[in-house]
Amino acid sequence: MKTIQIAIDGPASSGKSTVAKIIAKDFGYTYLDTGAMYRAATYMALKNQISPEEPSQLLELLEQYPISFGRSENGEQLVFVGDVDVTNPIRENEVTNAVSAFAAIPAVREKLVALQQEIAQQGGIVMDGRDIGTVVLPDAELKIFLVASVDERAERRYKENLERGISADLEVLKKEIADRDYKDSHRSVSPLRPADDSITFDTTGVSISDVVAFIEEKAKKILDK
Ligand code: DC
């Protein structure tokens, strides 16, 4: 059966992972949350008091304790560092606020991109991140760039945090999101930007099911060709 690669990029909390997960399930494809990999690397760095200026020790740790994915009994994707489950800790504020600095390290990106490309070899895939359409899967048949206003994204993250039992302040979240957007789009390696052949979709005020329907329609057209 013909399968395709679907790349979904965009800034923090633009809805990428929510829609990517649904599309992967509907199509029977693998879903890969690349942000979780940068978060796992950041978690490891913070745990071992490694600064972004001295990444060599982090690279060694990534060799020793590889990042991998698993599935819980109820089908949720789990993230591991070595054999430690870091699914929940990588969502903590401490990691969220430090991740841009570690994601800007070229050697860290090189390592994680290679792993992402290896996972994509397995067949149909929906991958979300910041550089999927531009760097990781430049030949992806479908590239989507999701955007949404800072206010709406902060509100989404606020709700998500509350559901996860993580404390949140809406105004602080707005500032953090704007800050992370700036850092992710202004770094010298693989900055956040839409690929030339991507479709940009503004999800402000659009329901998850409508975003999913839009992307799935595009994907089906490609599959029917
Ligand atoms: O999608 P997220 O918020 O979980 O991503 C966490 C951070 O990882 C984000 O601030 C930027 C970085 N990231 C990246 O640089 N490249 C990717 N492909 C995915 C995430």
Can you give the pLDDT at residue 202?
95
Nearest CA to ligand 1 atom 8: 35
Cβ–ligand 1 contact at 131 (below 6 Å)? yes
Count of Cβ atoms closer than 10 Å to residue 153 Cβ: 24
Can you give the pLDDT at residue 167?
81
Can you give the pLDDT at residue 76?
84
Can you give the pLDDT at residue 103?
94
Nearest CA to ligand 1 atom 15: 103
Q: Could you tell me if 32 and 137 are in contact, meaning their C-beta atoms sit under 8 angstroms apart?
A: no
**Angle value at C-alpha 91, between 156 and 5, nearest 5 degrees:** 75
Cβ–ligand 1 contact at 34 (below 6 Å)? yes
Does an H or E element contain 5, and which?
A: strand 5-9
Ligand 1 centroid–CA 224 distance in Å is 32
Cβ–ligand 1 contact at 35 (below 6 Å)? yes
Contacts of 169 (CB under 8 A, 6+ apart): none
Return phi, psi of residue 145, to 5°: -120, 110
Cβ–ligand 1 contact at 126 (below 6 Å)? no
Ligand 1 centroid–CA 1 distance in Å is 31
**Angle value at C-alpha 93, between 92 and 97, nearest 5 degrees:** 125
Point out the ligand 1 atom lying closest to the alpha carbon of residue 183.
10
Ligand 1 centroid–CA 206 distance in Å is 23
Cβ–ligand 1 contact at 180 (below 6 Å)? yes
Q: How far apart are CA 167 and CA 93, in angstroms?
A: 9
Point out the ligand 1 atom lying closest to the alpha carbon of residue 116.
18
Can you give the pLDDT at residue 90?
96
Point out the ligand 1 atom lying closest to the alpha carbon of residue 187.
15
**C-alpha atoms less than 13 angstroms from C-alpha of 6 in its C-beta half-sphere:** 35
Q: Which two tokens stand for residue 197?
A: 């052949």
Ligand 1 centroid–CA 193 distance in Å is 13
pLDDT in tens, the chain (225 residues): 899 999 999 998 899 999 999 999 999 999 999 999 999 999 999 999 999 998 999 999 999 999 999 988 887 889 999 999 999 999 988 999 899 999 999 999 999 999 999 999 988 999 999 999 999 999 999 999 999 999 999 999 899 888 888 788 999 999 999 998 998 899 898 899 999 999 999 999 999 999 999 999 999 999 998
